[in-house]
Amino acid sequence: MKIHEYQAKELFRAGGIPVPPGSVATTPAQARQIAESIGKTVVVKAQVHVGGRGKAGGVKLARTPDEAESIANDILGMDIKGLTVKKVLVTEAVEIASEAYVGVVVDRAIKRPVLIVSAAGGVEIEEVARKSPEKIIKLELDPLLPIHPFHARRVAYSVYDDPDVAKQAAKIIQQLVNVFWKNDCSLIEINPLVVTPDNVVTAVDAKINFDDNAAFRHPEWEEMRDTDAEDPAEMEAKENDLSFVKLDGNIGCVVNGAGLAMATMDLVKRCGAEPANFLDIGGSSNPEKVIAAMRIIMRDSNVKAILFNIFGGITRCDDVANGIVQAVQQLKPDLPIVVRLTGTNEQEARDILRDVGLATAPGMEEVVNEAIKLANKAA
Ligand code: GDP
Ligand code: MN
């Protein structure tokens, strides 16, 4: 789950990380009021769940409350990478002498979070990692041990020469790691971590993603959820208890079981195409889930064929077949559908599908190739 910069900054404040004062506004008039109460030059910042807002024109300095109001008026409603801006953060402007990057991300290969620090902040950290990896400092974090002050100091001193600045940065780094653990984050970033001309270190930007697997112990997340900003397909999937991840290909996949879903995606790739999604309808064979799955996949205009791959164990193939029939009747998809099902009640399922003119393929390879062939024909 993603949260906005203004929310991440609240968590930073609670964790003792210095952040310039500010609040969020949904109207230009509110933005003016906040600018008035700050009484200095402010920055008006688009609150959308995407990076690179600065480059997209979503981060602007305003010297007066008047200016803050008119800039907020420009930014509210703006489209940034397909997302509409509905809120702006109005925050005290900071003078910048240098910009660094500090973040904690999960490294899947080593199965641990890694602290990443780079003196080359502000710009896209992915670019720095690609072009000059030597500018990036990494420290693996141990889930069973806290980050010690000497760890944080070592990292901070490798970025900053001035001891006073390094000390402030070390404290911020330590607190950032603490905020990461305390809030079950999957990612936390300060980019840029700014040093001002008078050597004050402060977090000018803040990004936090929560690890959804920990939602059960964070009732406070519900209030922070911005349903406006979430992907409608992923929300609908969540409401229907489906595991869904959107991808960029054109083969829509409906599968029961995460393992089979992964295997299906692998096979789509091996046969030379790209899956449009990961989707696990789970162990039940509730027709409602099949209908929801198909509706979610049909939202994606990239999808050129829908592939069902069902293994009937506890799931009964005939129930899924009935779900497919209902989904086709209700949603009238304009897309080719191919189905492979095997296991419990597969013969009944084939009969049900044959009656409505849907063919089933016997094996995975056949059905995947069929889906790809039909998708290519439709494209
Ligand atoms: P992002 O583009 O979405 O990462 O948004 P940021 O909050 O990181 O802002 C982008 C850039 O705008 C920063 O890297 C800074 O260079 C600049 N910026 C943001 N806030 C301030 C500020 O308070 N003062 C100054 N001088 N520049 C700022
Ligand atoms: Mn940033």
* Single-letter code of the amino acid located at 280: D
91 CB burial (10 A radius; 0-12, 13-18, 19+): buried
Alpha-carbon distance of 183 to 176, in angstroms, equals 11
pLDDT digits (tens, 9 = 90+) for 75-85: 999 999 888 99
Whether 101 sits among the annotated catalytic residues: the reply is yes
Give residue ranges with CB within 6 A of ligand 1: 43, 45, 51-54, 59, 93-94, 96, 99, 122, 191-192, 204-205
pLDDT digits (tens, 9 = 90+) for 112-156: 999 999 998 876 778 888 888 888 999 999 999 999 999 999 999
For the chain, what is the largest distance between any 2 Cα atoms, rounded to a whole number of angstroms? 78
Task: Report CA torsion sign: 232, 238, 239, 240.
Answer: positive
Alpha helices, H only, 206-276:
221-224, 232-239, 258-270
Cα 322 to middle of ligand 2, angstroms: 49
Alpha-carbon distance of 100 to 79, in angstroms, equals 28
pLDDT digits (tens, 9 = 90+) for 330-352: 999 999 999 999 999 999 999 99
Q: State residue 123's pLDDT score.
A: 66
* Among 45, 19, 50, 49, CA closest to 34: 45
Which residue from 40, 59, 95, 207 has its CB within 8 A of the most atoms of ligand 1, so it is best to mutate?
59
Residues with CB under 5 A from ligand 2 (ion): 191, 205
Cα 114 to middle of ligand 1, angstroms: 24
* Single-letter code of the amino acid located at 323: G
Relative to the alpha carbon of 4, which ligand is closest? 1
Answering whether pTM is above 0.85, one says no
Which residue from 50, 81, 96, 125 has its CB within 8 A of the most atoms of ligand 1, so it is best to mutate?
96
Task: For residue 295, count other CB atoms closer than 10 A to its CB.
Answer: 17
Tokens describing residue 327: 């989904």
Strands 88-92 and 243-246: unpaired
- In the chain the domains, ranked by start, together with CATH numbers, are 21-92 (3.30.1490.20), 98-224 (3.30.470.20), 231-378 (3.40.50.261)
